[in-house]
């Protein structure tokens, strides 16, 4: 069983005022909020909610083996946002699967104030643990959480200029040295947009992915395609979405936030556990 992750006492002073999120939410047009809500709902449609703990066992005299497996959610996540990061769709695509996986604590941190688009996404997703930290505070947060539970995840999202800060790089380096799973969001993705120029869908994509390169024709390196008509679906692309689903993005699956263990033994006919 994963331990209950209590936040370090010093962290509370780094929590922004709640009014920041409420104001961002109210200042975001309803049609853009609706796109983010659709993306969240699609994640719940696409994947099931995981139980906190899952266990299974199998014993077979025919194969000659017995084994047991378990699956547990990570104890915590640190999602570090570079200054000016402003893609609510990519942030939700990374964090909603963690909610579905049952992660205990999802912390979103930044060295600079969160953008209104990010605040709106956090408000809609109900992710309340977001904090403004100085760069030198990030290693302390990582070590405090790791002392409570060694099974965590570290995510990094780039600054508005497409780079990662020194503190973010240090955080990812520490996680790498500890063998902790990491996810690095790639800046400036290439998107295929087959909607009419200056349509609502195109304007939405520019708000949802402000650093993206929008293309009108299929080309190498496209991460996702947003099309106006299902009949025009291009082949061979990793992720394709229709109208109203512009905020959907091919992020990690909930499995990224689960840790699986397996124990295996040879089947023995005189083994009471194997015969039970």
All residues at 6 or more sequence positions from 184 whose CB lies less than 8 Å from its CB, including other chains? 155, 156, 164, 172
Evaluate whether 7 touches 153 at the Cβ level (below 8 Å): no
Residue 133, token pair as written in the block:
């930290």
Least confident of 37-51, 56-70, 182-196, 211-225: 56-70
| 261 pLDDT above the threshold of 90 | no
The architecture that CATH gives domain 9-187+257-266 is: 3-Layer(aba) Sandwich (3.40)
| pLDDT, tens only, 132-178 | 999 999 999 999 999 999 999 999 999 999 999 999 999 999 999 99
All residues at 6 or more sequence positions from 48 whose CB lies less than 8 Å from its CB, including other chains? 100
| 19 pLDDT above the threshold of 60 | yes
- pTM (whole model) above 0.85: yes
User: For the residues 205-226, what does the mean pLDDT come to?
Assistant: 95
Spatial separation of the C-alpha atoms in residues 150 and 181, rounded to whole Å? 11
| 229 pLDDT above the threshold of 80 | yes
- Mean pLDDT (the chain) is 92
Burial of 122 (0-12, 13-18, 19+ CB in 10 A): buried
Chain region(s) in the chain for CATH 3.40.50.1980: 9-187+257-266
């Amino acid at each position: 069983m994963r331990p209950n992750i209590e936040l370090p006492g010093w962290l509370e002073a780094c929590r922004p005022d709640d009014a920041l999120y409420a104001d961002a939410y109210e200042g975001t047009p309803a049609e853009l909020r609706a796109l983010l809500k659709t993306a969240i709902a699609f994640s719940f449609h696409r994947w099931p909610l995981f139980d906190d703990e899952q266990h299974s066992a199998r014993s077979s005299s025919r194969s000659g083996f017995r084994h047991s497996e378990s699956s547990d959610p990570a104890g915590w996540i640190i999602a570090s946002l570079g200054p000016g990061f402003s893609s609510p769709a990519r942030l939700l695509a990374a964090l909603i699967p963690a909610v579905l996986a049952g992660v205990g604590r999802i912390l979103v941190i930044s060295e600079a104030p969160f953008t209104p688009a990010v605040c709106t996404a956090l408000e809609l997703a109900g992710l309340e643990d977001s904090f403004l930290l100085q760069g030198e505070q990030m290693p302390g947060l990582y070590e405090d959480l790791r002392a409570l539970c060694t099974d965590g995840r570290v995510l990094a999202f780039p600054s508005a200029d497409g780079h990662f800060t020194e503190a973010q790089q240090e955080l990812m380096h520490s996680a790498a040295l500890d063998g902790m799973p990491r996810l690095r969001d790639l800046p400036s993705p290439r998107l295929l947009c087959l909607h009419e120029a200056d349509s609502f869908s195109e304007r939405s994509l520019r708000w949802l992915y402000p650093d993206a390169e929008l293309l009108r024709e299929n080309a190498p390196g496209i991460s996702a395609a947003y099309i106006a008509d299902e009949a025009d679906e291009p082949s061979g692309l990793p992720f394709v979405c229709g109208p109203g689903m512009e905020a959907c993005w091919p992020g990690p699956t909930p499995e990224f936030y689960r840790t699986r263990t397996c124990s295996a033994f040879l089947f023995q006919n005189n083994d009471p556990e194997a015969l039970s």
